[in-house]
Amino acid sequence: MPETMTYAAALRAAMRLLLSQDERVFLAGEDIGVYGGAFGVTDGLVAEFGEERVRDTPISEEAIVGLAVGAAITGMRPIVEMQFSDFVANAMDPLVNQAAKLHFMYGGNVTVPMIVRAPGGGGTGAAAQHSQSLEAWFAHVPGLKVVLPATPQDVHDLLLAAYLDPNPVVFLEHKLLYKTEGPVELRSRAEDTPARIGEAKVLREGTDLTIAAYSIMTPRALEAADGLASAGIEAEVIDLRTVQPLDIDTVRASVKKTGRLLVTHEAPQPVGVGAEVVAGVCESDALDYLLAPVARVCGQPVPMPYARELERAVIPQVEDVEAAAKELVNA
């Protein structure tokens, strides 16, 4: 039976399962041991599995990801944590030029089974260097998979799916989701996970428009859909869950049913994942079903402000999604 858990606890349970199931799995990152990580996600794991399996590292993201690459290609299954996703900028060489490419460069004879976990997004007043949404960076790199779970169940199941993948996965967790709660059915083996990287999920059926979202914008889209329903508008909400690979077929099928598409993400709009979703629809016969131009509700293209009201103005809110959806339906 499912039990109610926080997003952070469901994620921790997935790591506990992997550490228990596979002796090749180890965790590494800054202050993930006794301190439990910057957001407490690894709390208690060092007491259970010891310092060899839950490793505190020096303050060097390049060293942490380089460690993961070397361990992965020699048979280990590292899961490394960045304190903030912004800090992956310091590790782009081992991630982009090594981890993403080695399987291809060695003709498939090498695999790089590693997971880079990183909390991202704004809303915490952490300002410009600790609040970015960088998924489009990673999605643009051939060889990297990019996962952004929105619910406690999905963060549990998708981490297990990432473990099963033989090559690198960038696993982005929104900071505001860590304390959210939901029903979680814990898996007894990684292989029992029903989640698959590259599969979207329809969370709410609707007939008037499609809202495609991921990460923190998924619960906001669902909340907006509730508001729209009270106005007589039935929105279909799709959680993309992963942005590389992107399940565009699910979005296309929904658009053929609803005739309208709104895409929302917290990351800045220019050259974002939303543009790829729109292109994927317009490059198919789903284009013929559109009754109105597509719409995007995305972050503003500015560094994240510190001031609360300015930060809120930069990040899409529930009311922004709802207003855009009403405009789209009434166009």
DSSP structure string for 219-271:
HHHHHHHHHHHHTT--EEEEE--EEETB-HHHHHHHHHHHS-EEEEEEEESTT
**C-alpha torsion sign, points 144, 75, 39, 16:** positive
Is 130 one of the annotated active-site residues of the chain? yes
Is 173 one of the annotated active-site residues of the chain? no
Catalytic residue among 61, 276, 311, 322: 61
Angle ∠(134,137,142) on CA atoms, nearest 5 = 140
Angle ∠(157,159,264) on CA atoms, nearest 5 = 85
Closest CA to 234 of 213, 212, 207: 207
Catalytic residue among 30, 103, 130, 156: 130
d(C-alpha 82, C-alpha 57), whole Å? 11
**C-alpha torsion sign, points 31, 305, 125, 136:** negative
Catalytic residues: 61, 130
